[in-house]
Structure 1
């Protein structure tokens, strides 16, 4: 009976009381990702949106501070995590190359829809990936839309890479490409900010739906089986409470207020 009580007590203790060497986690993510995540301002390291709210919840449950901050473009974030310079990516799709550099915490905290965006005046029939062959497209550099599509695009599609999301949208609007591939919510948010939402549309059939994960660098000093299990348990709890749906609504409202 005493042993069972001790084991239960240890399970309920915050991680910081079990691991003295890991008192703080650093995190970052894609800063052009509203309503999930975006930079507070051009000169700010603060990140806003639905994901920071989720990270606050995770931090509270862990009993460890999680510092979510802007460290640079999306490609830089992935490199920093690969090198262990930051501990966590708050929001990444699964790909095999990324899995060599970071551990994925399951379950995923969000499912996202990736769309084919076109000019309303330049829409074309689209039902499957092969319908994009022979057409010019664009997406944002260092982005992945799932292992299967990434491999298909590499071998069969002509997709340019824009440095920033708004640049990709402007390339589409200006007729330099025929389609723009990006996730539904972030593309819609930026199109609204640019005032072009009435000129473009997402085709009915998506590229696909991908899971969005919290990941931890394989080189992080804090990466232990104990931490990964606790993070997983916390995400399960958040899922059961449908917290991400609440945070996403708040993120949408904050982004819309920002652009009014």
Structure 2
């Protein structure tokens, strides 16, 4: 090797050499969690949503090609990532038990704001969480709250578990409970799909803000210090850009349009 060529190799930017190891990431996530992620009706093998859009933006800025696949269910998505068949989970709650299998990239890609939902005509006075202690509430069994808030809710609130958010909102509309704890944006999407948008309202500040993290499999060939560091850097820059809220709102509208489309279709 000539001296000139040797110098050129030595002087190559560290970032270029590091990035060369992984040019493509395969990811997955929840197939039924709008507006964060859901199955693409036009291409059911893939997912769409706010988490997907933001992940693709971050990866694109790093020069990485990405594909976000539908694994069939939330539990199967996690299993695909644990095994290394898929590199990364785009919407993982932080779980200490999973640290032996995945690396969580901090900060979170998004935060899921859980708020108090009531009927529009509700007389419930809600300023602080203490106002809810004597009220009957409901929360989906699929809700991924922080451990700290879950402990508080268990000891201080009267929360009835529902099989899913659909059932919780139906109970609220029927007057069987006084309020529902649900994600602000997930609640918007669900209320729209159930035709309840005019009947339900989100009130007050978030009661909990669990993070939705990128979780990189220990068994992924792409899991190296360069990628983890670059992803963390890009995620740190996201909140100040204001992009996240815009992407969330756009995907709420996207979900609304998808739900509305069959109703608006011309009759044959």
- CA contact under 8 A between 1:90 and 1:214: conserved in structure 2? yes
Aligned length in residues: 255
Query: Match of 1:209?
Result: 209
Deviation string 1:98-122 (CA, Å, 9 cap, x unpaired) is 5555322123333442101122344
1:237-260 deviation per Cα after TM superposition (whole angstroms, max 9, x unaligned): 555654434433432332232233
Match of 1:251 in 2: 251
Other-structure match for 1:47 = 47
Check the 8 A contact 2:18/2:226 in 1, yes or no.
no
Structure 2: where are the runs of 5+ without partners?
1-5, 261-268
TM-score, normalised on structure 2? 0.76
- Counterpart-to-counterpart distance in 2, 1:123 and 1:75: 39
* 2:13 pairs with 1:9: yes
Instruction: Give per-residue Cα distances to partners, 1:203-229, cap 9 Å, x unaligned.
Output: 224313344322223444433323211
| C-alpha distance 77-177 of structure 1, shift in aligned 2 (>3 A) | farther
**Inter-CA distance 158–100: structure 2 relative to 1 (3 Å threshold):** farther
Counterpart secondary structure, 1:159: strand
Shift of 1:5: 8.9
2:40/2:46 contact within 8 Å kept: yes
For the structure 1 residues 193 and 230, does the alpha-carbon distance in structure 2 shift closer, same or farther, using more than 3 Å as the test?
same
Residue of structure 1 equivalent to 2:195: 195
2-side partners of 1:142 and 1:61: how far apart? Answer: 33
Counterpart for residue 109 of structure 2: 109
Structure 2 CA distance for aligned equivalents of residues 156 and 170 of structure 1: 24
Write the distance in 2 (CA, Å) between the matches of 1:192 and 1:33: 14
In angstroms, what is the RMSD of aligned CA positions?
Answer: 3.3
Q: Tell me, which stretches of 5 or more residues in structure 1 are unaligned?
A: none
1:187-210, Cα deviation, whole Å (9 max, x unpaired): 012202221122122222431334
Bigger mean CA offset, 225-234 vs 82-91:
82-91
TM-score (norm 1): 0.78
User: Equivalent residues in 2 for 1:69-218 (5 A)?
Assistant: 69-99=69-99, 101-133=101-133, 135-218=135-218
Distance (whole Å) between structure 1 residues aligned to residue 7 and residue 129 of structure 2: 57
Change beyond 3 A, Cα 1:203–1:247: closer
Decide whether aligned partners of structure 1 residues 59 and 129 sit closer, same or farther in structure 2, where only a CA change above 3 A counts: same
Q: Is the 8 A contact 2:185 2:252 kept in 1?
A: no
